[in-house]
Structure 1
Amino acid sequence: MNDHDNRINPNFQHYLEQRQRCRNKAKYRKNPDSRQKPPSNKGFKNVCIQRSLRAAKARGWHKSRRGLVYIYNTHPQTPPYDPTATPSHNIPYLIQHLPATVKTDRLDENENNIILPFRLPVWEKLNDRTRPYFYQLALSELETLSGHEYQLIPFVFTESRSLKEAIQSQKKQRVDYLRDQLQKRLKKALNRPDDSPVAFWFAFETARRGQPHIQGSILLRPDELRKARNVFHELNRQATPREKHGAIRFRGSKRKQLFKTRGCLYTDLNWADYNLKERGQTRMQYSRVTVAVSQPLRKHTEYYNNRLKVDFSKCRKSEWHRTCSAR
């Protein structure tokens, strides 16, 4: 690598130190009394929600492999089996895949995992561990509401040395700075009307080797892809032609391919889950804030989550009544 190359050198030291700390840490925290109710804190609830969403995505892939896909808005010409027929944001379909209970990492006096009923809390109780899943689902809904004029496109953007230096020279959190810059630059470049602001979210990662990048999803029209790509390159400031070639990657085509084999629910939830794999490490080394979202998407996600919570509660209540009646 020469002096004129703007790419950040790999550095695995932080990752190796973090891995050793994890190995030295106790695997479980035990509750001394089995009758004791597990701590009802925000972090504990979000861990349970994340596990339940991971279970939902696994069920989605399993049903897709078996051909058991719920057909949403069935058209006479729709074949009997179409894993792309039900969008990931479809609330009745999502509720079908959510588990009734969730296994926690808390142990009772007999060294057994404590199992709790799965519940969806209000939006304010969610944190960066779980909100990205709902950002992705809400973005999928916005895609459908636009009649697919705007498409949900996963993306990966790698920072240059110049951008890293610019981030370090100001006082904002890293992800807040990148979000604000993207919102401002995309609005100017795409020339969207006021009622169609750019919706996106992303998480910060380092690939476990000290190379900062962000991964997330954005809603764009196909004719806006080139302009959006240029915005990312301009945000990176100085970059060699080789760096530009791999600095920004749009993965919309890959998402559609996965729909056909793994279903929409698994594909979208798995992308959000994949982008959170380094959350603990980046929170420790860089900033406690590792996820950013544009204001339009945040507002719609809260609206989506509230509807999901209401329908989920109604569904669980009706199931409880049916169970009691059968006894």
Structure 2
Amino acid sequence: MIGIVGAGAFGRALAVALAPRGVTLWARDPGAQSRLPGVALPQGVRLTGDLGDLAGAEAVLLALPMQALAGFLAVHPLGGRLVACCKGIDLATLRGPSALIGPGAHVLTGPSFAADIAAGLPTALTLAGPDEGDLQRLLSTPTLRLYRTTDVVGAELGGALKNVIAIAAGVVIGAGLGESARAALVTRGFAEMQRLAQALGARTETLMGLSGLGDLVLTCNSTGSRNLRFGLALGRGQVFDPAVTVEGASTAEAVARLSAQIGVEMPISTMVARLIARDLDLPEAIRLLMTRPLKEE
């Protein structure tokens, strides 16, 4: 049996995909309306509000919002093999999900929309953690293909940082700056992602894989991405639905603080954080980015 904590869109999608393995899905409110309209939980998925029902699970997937993870674990310390399925950097500690979980943590990340996974569309993800092929096999299905890496830091940073760049890409399109500007921004944003990840000990090839470049391509080019849609609204001067979780907004603030703390230049990510905080307006952000000192690529 596989345990899943969190019955939001991604948690439910994973439950649907992994149902043949037997899934116990924990929800804070099991009776709450599904965030995947039209997708019913199949046989093989047990919905519960009792964390005790996850006892004995072969693995527990934590499909919680990043900023809720630390608080949840403080109140509900879980044992066994834990797999973080959230993408971001904790604002209070400036740490990723694996550091909050502790030794032996795994991270499941990569280019994926919950609706695609739930519909059984082909999806490839990265499973980062201790070298355990049995967990990779347990979580792989005919439509969900997992690639394994031991570079946990690289995998989780790729998933976190791409959300910030996706917001920036949305701002560019929302403001009517054009596709050429989006291409340039995504490329330079990817360079930022690599700089910070390397400074924190990640491997370059990890960022070139599914959890970095793959996820960046998806979220910067599809309106299925909440982060891109948030950026579109920001670029158009519109109010975004506050009920929708946008992980990249909190991550942008965390990245701006973390990069300043360790001395890594992250101009695009910093501008995103400042735009969200209303510390500067869009014309000034564009001016600051375009008048940075010229340099080699």
TM-score (norm 1): 0.26
Whose RCO is larger (CA < 8 A, sep 6+)?
A: 1
TM-score (norm 2): 0.27
